[in-house]
Amino acid sequence: MRRRLRIVLFAAFAALLSIAFVMPFVRGKQCAAQGGRFERTTLTCTLPTAYPR
């Protein structure tokens, strides 16, 4: 029983780690689709400012 629990916990940790690694790439693509620039260090999307005419 203990071995199975260890395997399940390791699998859950691996899934969370993979999500944390992939998320910046997904958010970067979404930001680029909106015409912005994605900062990977701060995980923020900077959209160009619209100047009123």
**pLDDT for residue 16:** 95
**pLDDT for residue 53:** 63
Q: Give the separation between CA 46 and CA 31, rounded to whole angstroms.
A: 8
Q: SS3 of 39, please?
A: strand
Q: Give the separation between CA 33 and CA 2, rounded to whole angstroms.
A: 47
Read off the pLDDT band of 51 (50, 70, 90).
low
Query: Using an 8 Å Cβ cutoff, are 40 and 25 in contact?
Result: no
pTM for the full predicted model: 0.62
Query: Using an 8 Å Cβ cutoff, are 43 and 22 in contact?
Result: no
**pLDDT for residue 52:** 63
| pLDDT digit string, tens, across residues 8-47 | 999 999 999 999 899 889 999 999 999 899 998 888 999 8
